[in-house]
Amino acid sequence: MTNAPLIAGIELGGTKCICILATGPDDIRDEVRIPTTTPEETLSAIEAVLDRWSGFAALGIASFGPVSLDREAADYGFITATTKKGWSNTDVGRRLAAHAGVPTGFNSDVAGAALGEGRWGAAQGVADHAYVTVGTGIGVGLVLGGEPTNGLTHPELGHIRPVRLAGDAWAGACPFHGDCLEGLASGTAIRARTGQGAETLADDDPAWESVAHALAQLLHTLVLTGIPRRIVMGGGVMTGIPHLFPRVRTRLVASLGGYGTAPAIEPAETYVVPAALGNNAGPLGAVVLGTRALR
């Protein structure tokens, strides 16, 4: 750790931004939280933090999305068509890179968290893994051979359309897709369906069966990509609801039905695991993105 470079890591979230100056989780030298308001106000406040810091070798930015990751595209480093009011088509990556004047890594917040969990968290030593966050929305990061799997763009597998639990015809809460995964199993969906937040919903509420079924379908799909050797799950809904992990694991194993690589994911307790970095996954992921920009 002592030889690790000092990095400025920025997690740009939908409600707040976390800026850390660190070489890793055991050496965080400063941490500043900034509320996410308008783009100009928010980015100027981040720039002021960067101006105050010195000695960092690179900058890493893990941003809410969707973000443009195509280095050949005119909008590389931008937040593109987002549901967050006022932020569509906002240059984040190029602007902050130019301001900092150091090598800069840029990716989605979920890709960042995936890399953070791979470097210091629950997927350490696993070159091929996935990170799933279940909170206000549902996001997926995929890492293959240590690299985020960015081709056309970053994964958006929170919006797959899972087969429905028998007898469940609730229309779902996604403004784009209705009963896609995020429309069935996110914190927003749970509140829309039950009128309660996930943290207060009774453990035996039947809505949990639909949530667990939908999440298991995402994991079924992730296993069948052939990529992850481990799936890390985080976000407020997963970390706040202890009974959800066992339900999701049981339904995953049942859904795969012994097919193909199914034996490789058992015991499911070591294949589907809780995130280890908690709220620091995002900013530490940004540190990893910054470190990678030095290569």
Number of residues located near a copy of itself, criterion CB under 8 A? 42
Rounded CA separation 90/82 (Å): 10
Q: Using the rule CB under 8 A, is 72 a contact of a copy of itself?
A: no
Side by side, which strands form the sheet with 7-12? 27-35, 16-24, 7-12, 58-63, 104-108
The yes or no reply on residue 139 touching a copy of itself (CB under 8 A) is: no
Q: How far is the CB of 53 from a copy of itself (least distance, A)?
A: 32
- How far apart CA 89 and CA 218 sit, in angstroms, is 29
Options 47, 159, 240, 274; binder of a copy of itself; rule CB under 8 A:
159
**Is residue 163 part of the contact set for a copy of itself (CB under 8 A)?**
yes
Query: CB of residue 8 vs a copy of itself: minimum separation in angstroms?
Result: 26
Closer to a copy of itself by Cβ: residue 117 or 128: 128
Nearer to a copy of itself, 93 or 162 (CB): 162
By CB under 8 A, is residue 254 in contact with a copy of itself? no
Complete DSSP assignment for 97-119: HHHHTS-EEEEEHHHHHHHHHHH
**Apex 112 CA angle, 107 and 115, nearest 5:** 125
Cis peptide before 35 (omega within 30 of 0): no
Contact mark string toward a copy of itself, 170..209, x via CB under 8 A: ------xx-x------------------------------
Question: 54: which 2 tokens?
Answer: 């010195």
